[in-house]
Homo-oligomer: A and B are copies of this chain.
Amino acid sequence: MPASYAYLGPEGTFTEVALRTLPETATRELVPYVSVQSALDAVRAGEAEAAFVPIENSVEGGITTTLDELVAGQPLMIYREVLLSITFALLVRPGTKLSDIKTVTAHPAAQPQVRNWIKAHLPDVAWESAASNADGARLVQEGRYDAAFAGEFAAARYGLEALETGIHDAENAQTRFVLVGRPARPAAPTGADKTSVVLWQRDDHPGGLRDLLGEFATRGINLMLLQSRPTGAGIGNYCFCIDAEGHISDRRVAEALMGLKRICLQVRYLGSYPRAEVGPADVGTPRPGTSDEEFVAAADWVARCQDGRF
């Protein structure tokens, strides 16, 4: 397996910064790709060991391109996640003053995070979308636009300077990234894990989705993400990308997945991996009756009943 990680490029974006927080990147070649799709295809084709792509941010919600790639095509699995706080710098060619700025650029995903700042400080500026925030910085370097919103770390790379830093419309703006690979044994449970699945309903009836969620709820499993995505079968046809607390090796999670497998048209397992959000100390104790010990004891009791020994 090639010791390289694909990531959503270009270099100098938040994605690269997040990726470099993973210790193993020290021993991997990090290869930027022009799109989420191409990065994931590199994994599917065996050209990369894994791909690192954004999957959710606190302003836009689920990154639909990434979700749609995980939902369809050759199965992939999530092995790690990274959370990165996102604030923008306004990068300009040295010497540019705020009043000089007539055009700004950035990736469209940046727009909702800087919209209010623009309204307040650059109300008459023209916005031009760039292929990435780093690419926006490059276009400023080339003189095509006057300023770019990007991570402050991009200034040095493109010979720009930060006229303003810490720009963020929403407090707590964060982006979540995932490291995706080909299916293999999930990471070992840490006690603070997350399991991702995609669910397709068998049929559509009142209560259908409630029943799916009931497989988690009756086993005391919290949901951390529920994102509907079109199935491609026409408007109103959705599958559901779900992140649930816990690891597939937790009995309550395994039984919930079994239940979903039985009642859904289709279930795609996307992996179990350590949660980035909170430290183990913040993870609640399982609801009474849902711990591994209780599952094992209950299974043992049923086995004894089946044998008439109790």
A residues lining the B interface (CB < 8 Å) = 56-62, 64, 68, 75, 77, 83, 108, 112, 129, 170-172, 174-176, 183-186, 202, 204-207, 209-211, 213-230, 232-238, 240, 248-249, 254-255, 257-259, 261-263, 267, 269, 277, 287-290, 294-295, 297-299, 301-302, 305-310
16 sampled A-B residue pairs with Cβ under 8 A = A56-B235, A60-B230, A61-B64, A68-B112, A183-B309, A207-B214, A209-B213, A210-B213, A210-B216, A225-B228, A225-B238, A249-B306, A258-B301, A261-B302, A262-B290, A269-B310
The answer to whether A258 and B61 touch across the interface, beta carbons within 8 angstroms, is no
Closest residue to A223 on the B side, CB-wise?
B209
CA distance A129 to B57 in the complex (A): 22
Distance in Å: Cβ of A68 to nearest Cβ of chain B: 8
With contact pairs A228-B61, A228-B227, A254-B306 given, residues A235 and B289 touching in the complex (Cβ less than 8 Å): no
Which residues of chain B are near A258, meaning CB under 8 Å?
295, 298-299, 301-302
The answer to whether B308 and A235 touch across the interface, beta carbons within 8 angstroms, is no
The answer to whether B64 and A302 touch across the interface, beta carbons within 8 angstroms, is no
How many copies the complex holds: the figure is: 4
Of the candidates B170, B213, B294, the one whose C-beta lies within 8 Å of that of A262 is B294
The answer to whether A211 and B218 touch across the interface, beta carbons within 8 angstroms, is yes
The answer to whether A57 and B235 touch across the interface, beta carbons within 8 angstroms, is yes
CA distance A286 to B278 in the complex (A): 33
With contact pairs A209-B226, A216-B206, A238-B61 given, residues A233 and B172 touching in the complex (Cβ less than 8 Å): yes
Distance in Å: Cβ of A109 to nearest Cβ of chain B: 11
The answer to whether B310 and A183 touch across the interface, beta carbons within 8 angstroms, is yes
Which residues of chain B are near A129, meaning CB under 8 Å?
129
CA distance A309 to B227 in the complex (A): 26
Which residues of chain B are near A267, meaning CB under 8 Å?
301
| Residue among A75, A170, A258 with max Cβ neighbours from chain B (10 Å) | A258
The answer to whether B75 and A310 touch across the interface, beta carbons within 8 angstroms, is yes
The answer to whether B216 and A185 touch across the interface, beta carbons within 8 angstroms, is no
Which residues of chain B are near A294, meaning CB under 8 Å?
262
With contact pairs A262-B298, A294-B262 given, residues A64 and B60 touching in the complex (Cβ less than 8 Å): yes
Distance in Å: Cβ of A230 to nearest Cβ of chain B: 5
The answer to whether B206 and A210 touch across the interface, beta carbons within 8 angstroms, is no
The answer to whether B172 and A234 touch across the interface, beta carbons within 8 angstroms, is yes
Distance in Å: Cβ of A179 to nearest Cβ of chain B: 15
Closest 8 CB pairs of A and B: A207-B217, A172-B234, A261-B298, A184-B308, A262-B289, A210-B213, A58-B235, A258-B298
Distance in Å: Cβ of A143 to nearest Cβ of chain B: 19
The answer to whether A225 and B229 touch across the interface, beta carbons within 8 angstroms, is no
Distance in Å: Cβ of A294 to nearest Cβ of chain B: 5
The answer to whether A61 and B308 touch across the interface, beta carbons within 8 angstroms, is no
Of the candidates B185, B237, B290, B307, the one whose C-beta lies within 8 Å of that of A308 is B185
The answer to whether B226 and A205 touch across the interface, beta carbons within 8 angstroms, is no
CA distance A108 to B310 in the complex (A): 34
Which residues of chain B are near A58, meaning CB under 8 Å?
230, 232, 234-237
